[in-house]
Amino acid sequence: VRGGAEETTTGILRLKAMERDGALRFPMVAVNDAYCKYLFDNRYGTGQSVFDGINRTTNLVVAGKTVVVSGYGWCGKGVAMRAKGLGANVVVTEVDAIRAVEAYMDGFAVMPMLEAAKIGDIFITVTGNRDVIRGEHYAVMKDGALLANAGHFDVEVNKPDLEALSVSKRTVRKNIEEFRLKDGRRLYLLAEGRLVNLAAGDGHPAEIMDMTFALQAMALKYVNEAHESIGRRVVNVPYEIDEQVARLKLESLGAAIDRLSDDQKRYLESWQEH
Ligand SMILES: NC(=O)c1ccc[n+]([C@@H]2O[C@H](COP(=O)([O-])OP(=O)(O)OC[C@H]3O[C@@H](n4cnc5c(N)ncnc54)[C@H](O)[C@@H]3O)[C@@H](O)[C@H]2O)c1
């Protein structure tokens, strides 16, 4: 193996941990961190396909409901944006102060999960972290709350805690499990807490994945040629590749952009001109 290319946020975290521990055996290109990946795939792809998954699975109305989005990273921004577009009242929970300010300025309510748990109708986790929704939160949720994860694996919504608090569970519809709690409240877990857009929907549209897979292919070509100089490291996709993918995408969309004139280039590069 000469090298590889990693698709997603969580995968890159793990590879960087391997690099730090000296466990990485070949170079890896961090495709997720390319502009043409996270700006579009994570944001617009996840944003849209999460609601495709939730809506086709539940056939409930989103408008007027309180949607709690945990994590205001690239996926969370997309999910929150689409929830707002569908008419939901959106609440964001975060652990990062800068991203929380961003969510606030984007017009969303920001609060800790323990508060959001009391008012949410639909919960969507997109943090890449574990136990984001857990026992203490289930204890205060409204009857009928929906729990969905679109982040990492099936650990963001803590399932053992949900089982422990429940007296019974049944499948009420494909990909919807009802947990009846001791006090009679019912909580609904979608797609067993796995990525709801993939497990209960079709995933991202091909029109988004075209850019992601173009980056993957170009990243593999790059690592094949440069693996010796890169060494056992996690490296970014070179900017030229990112830009080339964006240009190809624009071309396929039938959209064109302006080019800098020589005068404009000089103006931008110089510190002497006014
Ligand atoms: N469903 C999909 O198709 C899909 C697509 C792309 C990425 N992902 C996955 O989604 C996850 C998020 O990706 P991203 O690119 O948005 O990552 P990101 O790093 O941009 O954002 C994650 C955010 O979650 C926040 N966070 C972490 N722990 C938290 C907690 N306990 N409570 C609240 N917020 C918390 C972080 O502060 C961060 O702002 C990753 O696991 C990624 O692999 C899923």
Question: pLDDT, tens digit, for every residue of 159-181?
Answer: 999 999 999 999 999 999 999 99
pLDDT band at 272 (very low <50, low <70, confident <90, very high): confident
Res. 18 pLDDT band, cuts 50 70 90: very high
- From the CA of 128, give the closest atom in ligand 1: 41
Q: In the predicted model, is pLDDT for residue 34 greater than 80? A: yes
Rounded to the nearest angstrom, the distance between the alpha carbon of 127 and the centre of ligand 1 is: 3
The whole-chain average pLDDT of the chain stands at: 97
Q: Is 130 in the pocket of ligand 1 (CB under 6 A)?
A: no
- Does the beta carbon of 197 lie inside 6 Å of ligand 1? yes
Beta strand pairing call for 176-181 and 166-173: antiparallel
Whether the CB of 48 sits within 6 Å of ligand 1? no
Please indicate whether residue 96, judged by its CB atom, sits closer than 6 Å to ligand 1: yes
Residue of 9, 91, 132 to mutate, ligand 1, most atoms within 8 A of C-beta = 9
CA gap 83, 63 in Å, rounded: 8
Report the separation in Å between the CA atom of 273 and the middle of ligand 1, taken as the mean of its atom positions: 44
Confidence of residue 273 (pLDDT cuts 50, 70, 90): low
Provide mean pLDDT across the span 46-51.
98
Calculate ∠ Cα 40-41-45, nearest 5°.
100
Q: In whole angstroms, what separates CA 43 from the centre of its chain?
A: 7
In short, whether 9's Cβ falls inside 6 Å of ligand 1 is: yes
- Regarding the beta carbon of 95 and ligand 1, being less than 6 Å apart is answered yes
Half-sphere exposure of 223 (CA within 13 A, CB side): 25
Cα Rg, the chain, nearest whole Å: 21
pLDDT at 274: 62
Best residue among 115, 125, 127, 154 to mutate for probing ligand 1's pocket (most ligand atoms within 8 Å of CB) is 127
| Mean pLDDT value across residues 44-57 | 98
Indicate if ligand 1 lies below 6 Å from the C-beta of 129. Answer: yes
Evaluate: CB of 177 within 6 angstroms of ligand 1.
no
- Is residue 119 within 8 A of residue 141, CB to CB? The reply is no
**pLDDT greater than 70 at residue 240:** yes
Contact yes or no for 113/156 (Cβ under 8 A): no
Closest ligand 1 atom to the C-alpha of 132?
31
Q: How many angstroms separate the alpha carbon of residue 142 from the centre of ligand 1? A: 25
Put simply, whether the predicted model's pTM sits higher than 0.75 gets the answer yes
What pLDDT is attached to residue 176? 98
CA 42 – ligand 1 centroid, Å? 9
Q: What does the pLDDT read at residue 51?
A: 98
How far, in Å, CA of 8 to CA of 42, rounded? 9
Per DSSP, the three-state class of 180 is strand
Q: Report whether residue 70 contacts ligand 1, using a CB cutoff of 6 Å.
A: yes
- The string of pLDDT tens digits covering residues 70-98 is 999 999 999 999 999 999 999 999 999 99
- Mean pLDDT for the stretch of residues 228-237: 97
For ligand 1, is residue 73 a contact (CB within 6 Å)? yes
Give the whole-angstrom CA distance, residue 68 versus residue 111.
10
Residue pair 91/123 in contact by the 8 Å Cβ criterion: no
Question: What tokens does 197 get?
Answer: 């857009």
pLDDT tens digits for range 135-154: 999 999 999 999 999 998 99
